[in-house]
Structure 1
């Protein structure tokens, strides 16, 4: 379980890094600016973009790294089976066969518990996907601001 969480966190960080890298503009010095001038302009434009948009790429990456992976709920089928068996035994005792009632209740309870568990897991995964999408949109906004700033300083941005 712990290993699965570590792998999930690693995948989130990798996805954010990939998204950030895919959205980062390619900048070319159109007016013969030196590499040092381009580095200075890029740093200044990134600072301006952060101040203007309110998006901090470092904070987004840290948030993604620190965000726990959606925990996979476990034990729902077992809990459902136990509860179903207990109710089935009570119902079976009324009908004269507690063992048969418990067996039927366990089967029904297992199915119901598994369904509840799957719904919880799907909801958690959906929330995580929404968080990742929001981070990606914020990074796209930041990258557009950097691109606008660099264009204004005489660079070609793709």
Structure 2
């Protein structure tokens, strides 16, 4: 059985996202009997026009890497969580009679909490980036469809 790294899983997720986005692109039907050569010219012209109108370059959107992941991401949350946990644990430990033990327990709990926050922040960043890309492509596809419709194509 093969196990996947986080980087491999992220790459697979991005690939699946872009396949879904590609499937959502508008399809043009030459309703006025345009030749395939004319359709290719119109598609190219409309893609350029849509890019100029929206400022969205589908190639750039497709090439946008996902937010970084790995041990370097979220390190601050873990360290900060450990420090806060240790301080809180020391106070509780002092009340209970063993500040050192309380600080150690608090540091472990704080580190775990910081790691969970880091992972949640990473998930939120990825979801936000994905939503922004979908919105950008939606605007581009709307402009592209308007252009193609104006040239006599039926759009779906």
* TM score, norm. by length of structure 1: 0.74
Unaligned runs of 5+ in 2: none
1:115 aligns with 2:109: no
For the residue of structure 1 that corresponds to 2:34, the secondary structure is coil
1:157 aligns with 2:147: no
Task: State how far apart, in whole Å, the 2-side matches of 1:12 and 1:67 are.
Answer: 7
Partner of 1:31: 32
Contact 1:50 1:56 in 2 (8 A): yes
For the residue of structure 2 that corresponds to 1:48, the secondary structure is helix
RMSD value, Cα: 3.1
Task: State how far apart, in whole Å, the 1-side matches of 2:126 and 2:70 are.
Answer: 10
1:137 aligns with 2:135: yes
* TM score, norm. by length of structure 2: 0.75
Shift of 1:102: 4.2
| Greater gyration radius | 1
Shift of 1:68: 4.2
Give the structure with the larger helix fraction. 1
Contact 2:29 2:153 in 1 (8 A): yes
